[in-house]
Amino acid sequence: MIIEYRAADWDREKLPFLAEELVERQVDVIVAVAEASVNAVRSASSSIPIVMPFSGDPAGSGLVTSLAHPSGNVTGLSLDVTPEIGGKMLQLLKETAPKIRTVTLWWKSRFASYPEQVRHMQASAHRLGVRLNEIKEHSLQEVEAELAAIDRHPPHALVVMADPPTSAARELIAATARKHRMPTMFSQRLYVDAGGLISYGPSLTHNFRRAAVYVAKILKGANPADLPIEQPTKFELVVNLTTAKALGITLPPGILVRADEVIP
C-alpha cells in the first residue's frame, strides 16, 4: 500500500491543485482532513471514495445526504458533537479553577458545530457565575495580535475552540497563559500537550484511528455511500499536571477521576 501525503501549508489556494493531482494519480481512497480540503477533493472527483477523519456538519453543509446513509463518495466521522459540550467545557474549567470570574472565549466559526456550542457555553456561563468575552480571530497574524492584547489585559481564564490558526500558535498561547497564571481550556488535547492546562472534546487520535477503519472497509470493497458517518463517542479529558503546578492549581478529585490522561 502506498500512502501519498499532500499538504497545502496553510494556503487554501493550493487545495484544488493538490486534489486534482491526487485524482490524476487515480488513488483508491483520499483521506481529507479539514473541511476545506474535503470540499476541494469533492470538487475534483465524485467517484474516488473520500474519508473525512472529522468534519463539522457534513449533512448540514450538503456533503452527504444523511449521516446514516451518505449516498455519495464521501464518508467518515463527524465532530458534530452534542452542542451541550460547550457548557460542559466551561463547567470543567470552573471545577478546575473555581475562582475564575471572567473567561475569554477564543473561537472562529470555522466548524459548523461551533456556533451552537458557543451558544450553549454562553447560556451556561451565567449558571456557572462567569462572564464570557469573545475573541474572533481571522488569521495567524490576528492570533498574534490577539495574544498581545491578552498579554496586555489578561482575563481570569481562557477557552480556545481549536482551529488551525490557534493550533499553530498553541505554544505561544500556553506560554502567555502561564505567564499570567491563567487556567486554559481547549477543545483539543493538542494544546494541552503544548502546555495548556486542560482539554475536553472528541479524541482526534481516536477519529484518525476510526478513519483508518473506514479506509480499510472501502479498500475491502465497501461502498462509501453505505457507510454511516460516525459521531464522536469518545470524549477525552486531558490535564497537564506541570501546567497546573505552575499555575498553583490543585486538581480536584472530580477532575482527576474523570481525566482520561494526566500529562505529568
Q: Which residues of this protein are in contact with another protein, per CB under 8 A?
A: 66-69, 78, 80-82, 84-85, 87-88, 91, 124, 127, 226, 228-231, 233-235, 253-254, 257-258, 260
Is residue 138 a contact partner of residue 110, using CB atoms and an 8 Å limit?
A: no
CB of residue 27 vs another protein: minimum separation in angstroms? 26
Alpha carbons 201 and 41: distance in angstroms, whole number:
27
Alpha carbons 229 and 224: distance in angstroms, whole number:
10
Our CB check for another protein shows the closer of 88 and 170 to be: 88
What is residue 231's DSSP assignment?
A: P
Q: Cell 477533493: give the residue.
A: 41
CB of residue 226 vs another protein: minimum separation in angstroms? 7
Our CB check for another protein shows the closer of 91 and 167 to be: 91
Our CB check for another protein shows the closer of 193 and 260 to be: 260
Alpha carbons 252 and 12: distance in angstroms, whole number:
43
CB of residue 224 vs another protein: minimum separation in angstroms? 14
Q: Which triple of cell numbers denotes residue 123?
A: 447560556
CB of residue 134 vs another protein: minimum separation in angstroms? 20
Our CB check for another protein shows the closer of 21 and 260 to be: 260
CB of residue 46 vs another protein: minimum separation in angstroms? 21
Q: Which triple of cell numbers denotes residue 42?
A: 469533492
Our CB check for another protein shows the closer of 2 and 257 to be: 257
Q: Which triple of cell numbers denotes residue 118?
A: 458557543
Our CB check for another protein shows the closer of 8 and 123 to be: 123
CB of residue 176 vs another protein: minimum separation in angstroms? 28
What is residue 107's DSSP assignment?
A: -
Sheet hosting strand 102-106, strand order edge to edge? 131-135, 102-106, 157-160, 184-186, 198-202, 235-240, 261-263
Phi and psi dihedrals of 145, rounded to 5? -65, -40
Closest CA to 60 of 4, 100, 116, 135: 116
